[in-house]
Amino acid sequence: MRIMLFSSQRYDQESFLAGNVGHAFELNFQNARLDFDTAALAEGYPVVCAFINDDLSAPVLERLAVGGTRLIALRSAGYNHIDLIAARRLDMDVVRVPAYSPYAVAEHAVALILALSRRLHRAYNRTRDGDFSLHGLIGFDLRGKTVGVIGTGQIGTVFAQIMAGFGCRVLAFDPQPNSALLALGAEYVELDEMLAASDILSLHCPLLPATRHLIDAARLQLMKRGAMLINTSRGALVDAPALIEALKSGHLGYLGLDVYEEEAQLFFQDRSDLPLQDDVLARLLTFPNVVVTAHQAFLTQEALEAIAATTLNNVAAWSAGQPCNQVVA
């Protein structure tokens, strides 16, 4: 079976080659992002393996179908970026990796919180420059703070457990409450109540039509003045231009982003020698109380191994007509 992997980085090659030892699939690694033009590269490949910023809209799927692609193997948990209706119309199956390491993403959210609360990003640059002063570096204790968790599935649960371990009070919001959170002593509340009460708010829900711009200008205003917002889930959960106003006024005290609505043309690439064309991201990066990482929350050794193993097992199960973590519209 031939598999074309789009948007593949060196670390993908290493984990997929190691995971392929027991399968012997023919793997073709493409650094290119999948879009309408690059779809032609997959001609003759029954399986296309795609990542989160690949374009899986109807026109791209149609082009892949003409080239003989029958399966889209997403090497991600999220599947908001594929047109599932078009895939079904084209008789194309879609599989994903429902869980690889919730710890990877939850721990990255905590890393962003600690970097911001203890101003590590500023201290790192300062000491490297021979500046050992402490002005402007006053942090805050996490113990006793209220943390709001939006989405209490696999990642949100691990995140809540870690924050409870710091001695935080955990508030949760999810249409499907989870007993693991209740066991922690967390309290499910309405979203507006959470926004008003939380010192730290962390997003762990999927991107759906109902959650697009879940955090917009109005909801930012409902947050406690000086609170911290963390988004390691999907960029479009937050209205990014509204963040700028909230940061400028000081209403939003801290912002940690691992995802950004317009990340597709930027993240996973070295663009350090090019002028940044995205004015919203450029402005966000000027604030001293903002830390942005380029969608790296998933990037741990354990997660990469699990992503490769599950993806290749999905393809093997699909070709044998067995259950394969299929996503249906």
DSSP-H helix ranges across 67-186: 84-89, 102-117, 120-128, 154-165, 179-184
Q: How far apart are CA 17 and CA 28, in angstroms?
A: 10
Cβ distance to ligand NAD smaller for residue 41 or 281: 281
Rounded least distance, CB 53 to ligand NAD, Å = 11
Catalytic pick from 75, 107, 204, 263?
Answer: 263
Of 234, 251, 261, 262, which is the active-site residue? 234
Is residue 153 involved in binding ligand NAD (CB under 6 A)? yes
Residue 156 as a binder of ligand NAD (CB under 6 A): the answer is yes
Angstrom distance (rounded) from CA 102 to CA 80: 18
Q: Report the relative pairing of strands 47-50 and 26-29 from DSSP bridges.
A: unpaired
- Smallest separation (angstroms) from ligand NAD to the CB of 158: 8
User: Residue 131, CB half-sphere, CA atoms under 13 Å: how many?
Assistant: 11
CA-CA distance, 161 to 170, in Å (whole number)? 9
Per the annotation, the verdict on 234 as an active-site residue is yes
Q: Please choose, from the candidates 187, 185, 192, the residue with its C-alpha nearest in 3D space to the C-alpha of residue 167.
A: 185
How many chain residues interact with ligand NAD (CB under 6 A)?
29
Smallest separation, CB 219 to ligand NAD (Å): 12
Classify 238 as helix, strand or coil: strand
Quick one: 95 or 155, whose CB is closer to ligand NAD? 155
- The answer to whether residue 263 is catalytic is yes
Q: Which of 199, 244, 245 is nearest to 224 (CA)?
A: 199
Q: Where in 166-195 is the site for ligand NAD (CB under 6 A)?
A: 173-176
Token readout for 99 is: 């869980």
Whole-angstrom distance, CA of residue 59 vs CA of residue 106:
35
Specify whether the CB–CB gap between 225 and 253 falls below 8 A.
Answer: yes
Specify whether 190 is catalytic: no
Q: List the one residue out of 154, 175, 46 whose CA is nearest residue 106.
A: 154
- 112 is a site residue for ligand NAD (CB under 6 A): no
Of 258, 267, 308, 312, the one binding ligand NAD by CB under 6 A: 258
We find the least distance from the C-beta atom of residue 7 to ligand NAD, in angstroms, to be 14
Asked whether position 15 contacts ligand NAD by CB under 6 A, the answer is no
Q: Which of 204, 224, 260, 325 binds ligand NAD (CB under 6 A)?
A: 204
* Smallest distance, ligand NAD to C-beta of residue 40, A: 29
Distance in Å, CB of 128 to ligand NAD, minimum:
27
Which residue has the CB atom at the shortest distance from ligand NAD?
153
The catalytic residue positions are 234, 263, 295
Residue ranges binding ligand NAD (CB under 6 A) = 77-78, 102, 105, 150-156, 173-176, 204-207, 210-211, 232-234, 258-259, 295, 297-298
